[in-house]
Amino acid sequence: MHTQRHYAALVAFALAGCAEPAAPLAPAGLESCSRYRDTVPHAYERCVLEMAIEAPDVASLNALCANAGDLRGECHAQWVERHARLGRVASAILLEACGVSSDCTLRVLDDHPDPDLLVQISRCAAAGAFEGFCVTHAVRRWASLPPDVADVERVLAATGRRQPEVVGPALGMLAACRGLGSCPAPSSAIGAACVREAEQARQHPSRCYGAGFAQQPAPGH
């Protein structure tokens, strides 16, 4: 008898220890969307989107958007757009909530950039197919501040082999239009891009104004 009681206790303990974790949000309400299946194209998915935008957290959002089919990216993006507009959610959570939507990720990174260009360039990797756009926007934003010579040199040293087609022209414009820094040797990809852009800017000064790189007047002038 003692053995049977002991065995029963072990079984109960094992079952309690192996219990499945609670689902983040069992999308039970999705049954209400089932009536739209096989009707108007994407009607069911649109119904899912309407539910997902009310999701209280990212885990719940993921559980719902997994049912949105071809509109999965839009499902994530709508939630992020809404909460970004309300301004109550940290940018890190917004990025997480973008999920599979590279376009959503790009918008969040553009709207919440890191002030350090090198950090922002690293963050841009999360934008997937839109990484190049993210880096371009970051470099243009950084160059328009404008940075000081020390920061130009720091960025140049760190990005010599990364994104030369983006960073190089910005460095060239800073050198030609604002007298900040100088181009590296044209034997490198970034140097060639820098020199090419600087020469164009010197030959056509209007390029400086058109790109927002015009020399700023000294304080008090």
CA dist 116 → 35, 101, 111, 147, 166 (Å): 50, 24, 14, 11, 16
- Provide the b/e sequence for 51-77 (b: ≥16 CB within 10 Å): bbbebeebebbbbbbebbeebbbbbbb
pTM value is 0.72
pLDDT of residue 211: 60
Lowest mean per-residue pLDDT among 20-29, 50-59, 73-82, 85-94 = 20-29
pLDDT of residue 153: 86
pLDDT exceeds cutoff 80 at 31: no
pLDDT of residue 92: 94
Judge whether 194 and 184 are in contact, CB under 8 Å. Answer: yes
pLDDT of residue 199: 95
pLDDT 10s digits, 171-215: 999 999 888 888 988 998 889 999 999 999 999 988 887 666 665
pLDDT of residue 207: 85
Q: Band of the pLDDT at 83, cuts 50, 70, 90?
A: very high
Q: What is the mean pLDDT of residues 32-52?
A: 86
Q: How many CB atoms lie within 10 A of CB 189?
A: 16
d(CA 96, CA 104) in angstroms, rounded, equals 10
d(CA 20, CA 33) in angstroms, rounded, equals 27
pLDDT 10s digits, 190-199: 899 999 999 9
pLDDT exceeds cutoff 80 at 38: no
CA dist 60 → 65, 66, 191, 206 (Å): 9, 10, 48, 52
Q: What is the mean pLDDT of residues 13-41?
A: 59
d(CA 200, CA 104) in angstroms, rounded, equals 35
Domain ranges of the chain: 2-105, 133-210
pLDDT exceeds cutoff 70 at 221: no
Q: What is the mean pLDDT of residues 34-50?
A: 85
Percentage of the chain beyond pLDDT 90 is 50
CA dist 10 → 5, 16, 19, 130, 147 (Å): 9, 10, 14, 54, 67
Mean of all residue pLDDT scores within the chain: 81
Q: What is the mean pLDDT of residues 29-45?
A: 81
Q: Band of the pLDDT at 81, cuts 50, 70, 90?
A: very high
